């Protein structure tokens, strides 16, 4: 690792700490659940920025309880998991709006953050919702048309079946009269 990478990492951490202090004054994005258990939330953010938001929220919420290097290390590991979920599984574009909420437990004995109950919410623009609605309305109309055709075909088949029954009844009557 070059000194530039280390310097950039330190600068990033310094910026995160400054922003975390701003966040602490502006808005709380963490809820205390119990002594060492917290709920962290990124709030609404574009997917490309979730890692920074989550790290900053964690620094604000946990900074007085958990050593900063533990927060940064463990949140980095969580962000790798979230990246896999967001990009590869959910196929979320980097400019889409998401909200990530996660419960975190600080295990003092192992000096580690444990994450559970990860919730990812994806938000849609009004335009996107309208296009989804239009797509489903088109599918519904297509299915209704197909349903109508199938009902007509069923009615036609029932008519043919009734005609066949009449012919069979006539044949059965003719056979009875022959006996």
Report d(CA 118, CA 74) in Å as an integer: 14
Instruction: Please indicate, yes or no, whether residues 52 and 84 belong to a single structural domain of this protein.
Output: yes
pTM beyond 0.85: the answer is no
Q: Encode pLDDT of 93-102 as tens digits.
A: 999 999 999 9
25: pLDDT strictly greater than 60: no
Shared-domain flag, residues 45 and 132: no
Task: Give the domain extent around 140.
Answer: 125-179
Please tell me the least confidently modeled range out of 31-35, 38-42, 94-98, 103-107. Answer: 31-35
Instruction: State residue 10's pLDDT score.
Output: 76
Is the domain of 41 the same as that of 83?
A: yes
pLDDT tens-place string over residues 106-157: 988 899 999 999 999 999 989 989 999 999 999 999 999 999 999 999 999 9
Residues 82, 144, single domain; the answer is no
- Residues 160 and 97 both lie in one domain: no
Question: Is 84 strand, coil or helix?
Answer: helix
User: How many structural domains are present in the chain?
Assistant: 2
Same domain, yes or no, for 142 and 118? no
Q: Are 117 and 124 in contact (CB under 8 A)?
A: no
Q: 74 and 140 share a domain?
A: no
CATH classification of the domain holding 18 = 3.30.470
Backbone torsions φ then ψ of 110, nearest 5 degrees? -100, 0
Question: Do 85 and 12 belong to one domain?
Answer: yes
Domain boundary among 77, 97, 123: 123
Cβ atoms of residues 47 and 86 within 8 Å? yes
Whether 19 shows a pLDDT value over 80: the answer reads no
Q: Are residue 65 and residue 114 in the same domain, yes or no? A: yes
Q: Do 83 and 150 reside in the same domain of the chain?
A: no
Percentage of the chain lying above the pLDDT 90 cut: 58
pLDDT score recorded for residue 156: 95
């Amino acid at each position: 690792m070059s000194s530039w990478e280390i310097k950039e990492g330190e600068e990033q951490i310094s910026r995160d700490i400054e922003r975390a202090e701003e966040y602490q004054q502006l808005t709380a994005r963490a809820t205390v659940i119990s002594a060492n258990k917290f709920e962290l939330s990124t709030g609404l953010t574009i997917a490309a920025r979730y890692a920074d938001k989550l790290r900053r929220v964690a620094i604000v919420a946990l900074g007085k309880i958990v050593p900063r290097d533990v927060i940064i290390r463990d949140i980095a590991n969580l962000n790798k998991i979230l990246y896999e979920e967001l990009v590869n599984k959910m196929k979320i574009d980097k400019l889409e709006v998401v909200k990530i909420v996660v419960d975190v437990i600080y295990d003092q004995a192992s000096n580690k953050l444990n994450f559970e109950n990860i919730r990812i919410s994806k938000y849609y623009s009004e335009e996107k919702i309208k296009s989804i609605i239009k797509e489903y309305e088109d599918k519904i109309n297509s299915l209704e048309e197909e349903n109508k055709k199938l009902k007509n075909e069923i009615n036609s088949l029932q008519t043919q079946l009734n005609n066949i029954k009449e012919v069979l009844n006539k044949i059965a009557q003719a056979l009875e009269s022959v006996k």
